[in-house]
Structure 1
Amino acid sequence: MGLDFEHRPSGSPFIERVWRSRSHDVDRMTSIATSRWNLVFWEQSGQVGVAVQGPESRAGTAPVPEDATFLGIGFSLGTTMPHLPINRLVDGFVELPDATRRSFWLKGSSWHLPGYDNAEEFVRRMVREDVLVRDPVVAAVLDGRSPKVSERTIQRRFIAMTGLSRGAVRQIERARHAAVLIQDGLPFSEVVHRLGYFDQPHLARSLTRYIGRTATWLRERPQGEPLSILYKTGTSMPANFPGQPIG
């Protein structure tokens, strides 16, 4: 039983990753924390749905439609649809209307459903029609640069454009990275050292909160409730990220 995932990175500055999956013989999954929002398309028994899934601040359990197919576009940090503010969608979602196998309704227009291989073309149209924007202040901060605005403005823009504080994003990113390293076989003590955890109990608490699994489970990967898609994100928080607690 489980979820079969396939995913790829993207060369678009607006896209973090494109993914697709199929469910079989499973009705629930552990949805791990993510600082990104996704545009998700699914089909089950001939019925099609489209939703904007907001960032998830911690791991949780989510239902999985039976024998369904999914396509997702995960957007880069700082990318948002201004008419659907992401800071109002944290740990939530909004379903978009009039979805069929060919099209759906978005901001007053009909849009053809994208495919796994042409998501970038779909997103380029979103940008051209001002449905999708990327905040230059957030982009600069993530690149390790110092925008010529006040720290208070940076904090406010970051939360508005990502839905999360910089500290929360960093903790989520670090936990995801830790989970990938553990799955790759890196010793727990080395994960602690490499990613700046205080000790192994600190790592364990982070994994429980953001991944919903123990380090031992991630290493052994026994059969059971599947995880949502897990990969190390392409955007790393700079080591000199200002003013951020990482406990």
Structure 2
Amino acid sequence: MTYREWPVDRPGIACVWSRTVAEAGTQRVVPDGCADVIWHQVTGRLFVAGPDTEGQVGAAEPGTMVGLRFEPGAIALGVPADELRDGRIDLDAFRPDGRELAQRLAEAEDPRQVLLDAFPAQVDPVIDQVRELAGHTGSVRAIADTVGLGERQLRRRSLAAFGYGPKVLHRVLRFDRAVRRARTGMPFAEVAYREGYTDQAHLAREVKVLAGTTLTALTGRRSPTS
């Protein structure tokens, strides 16, 4: 399998990416708070993935997929993000031009640009602030007080934008940072300390719940302290 990402200088867009699989197999996708619009070059399928609350293991069909990844809270399809949660849903369920877009992608010299042009991100200063705060705390009250919303209103807006409430968002964002740190070679115990887990065992439990596997399996390495 080959995978590439290209950064995009647009608010709300994390990157565009491509993944090429030579032979059929399986793949695991773990939560990162993001949602993606994905086109499969061979099958022509155009669909929306995530945001996820747990690891997703599915078939990896041969061929190339091209994706547009939205930052947490930035996908804009006219439906609340909690209706997309943990889903892999064909785009034409949300947009009447879904099949036309799939055809344009098939004919395009650069499918990445077609995706960028077709799917502008949703930019909301309050949601941006919630995402930033949730990266550091799972306290609903603290976030609500800071952004000037009631706790119920914060939860409703978070579900609509992120697919889950502030506490789950905090767990997912912290998990994603922890996995990224671990993949750099940082010892797992230090990862746990830096990301505010009680200890390495706490980190291991969170990884098991959110990814359905171990940090060793996700990173392909063992911590010197494990």
Q: TM-score range by the shorter chain?
A: 0.7 to 0.9
Cα distance in 2 for partners of 1:5, 1:212 equals 22
* Aligned mates of 1:50, 1:26 — CA distance in 2: 19
How many residue pairs match? The answer is: 204
Query: What amino acid is aligned across from residue 62 of structure 1 in structure 2?
Result: G
Matching of residue 90 in structure 1 with residue 85 in structure 2: yes
The structure showing larger relative contact order (alpha-carbon pairs under 8 Å, at least 6 residues apart) is: 1
From the superposition, tell whether residues 84 and 178 of structure 1 become closer, same or farther in structure 2 (CA, over 3 Å): same
Tell me how far apart the structure 2 counterparts of residues 120 and 40 of structure 1 sit (CA, whole Å): 9
Q: How does 1:120-139 map to 2 (within 5 A)?
A: 121-123=116-118, 126-127=119-120, 133-139=122-128
Mark the CA change 1:108 to 1:120 in structure 2 (over 3 Å): closer, same or farther: closer
How far did residue 82 of structure 1 move? 4.5
Equivalent residue for 1:61, pick from 57, 62, 68: 57
Could you tell me how far apart the structure 2 residues matched to 1:25 and 1:82 are? 32
Q: Does 1:7 align with 2:5?
A: yes
TM-superposed deviation, 1:108: 4.5
Q: Match for residue 225 of structure 1?
A: none
Structure 2 gaps, min length 5: 134-142
Check conservation: 2:40, 2:46, Cα contact below 8 A.
Answer: yes
- Residue 72 of structure 1 corresponds to 67
Q: TM-score, normalised by structure 1?
A: 0.72
Q: Structure 1: any 5+ residue segments left out of the alignment?
A: 98-104, 223-247
Partner AA of 1:106 in structure 2: R
Equivalent runs, 1:135-150 vs 2, <5 Å: 135-144=124-133, 146-150=146-150
Higher strand share: 1
Q: Does residue 106 of the first structure (1) align with residue 106 of the second (2)?
A: no
Cα pair 2:68 2:116 within 8 Å, conserved:
no
Kindly provide the CA deviation profile for residues 20-44 of structure 1, in whole angstroms up to 9, marking residues without a partner as x. 0101234111121231111000122
Residue 198 to residue 72, structure 1, CA distance change in 2 (3 Å) = same
Amino-acid identity (%) = 24
Match for 1:39 among 27, 37, 40?
37
Taking the aligned partners of 1:218 and 1:31, their CA distance within structure 2 comes to 10
Report if aligned partners of 1:82, 1:133 keep a CA contact under 8 Å in 2.
no
The TM-score normalised by the length of structure 2 is 0.78
For 1:133, what is the secondary structure of its paired residue? Answer: coil
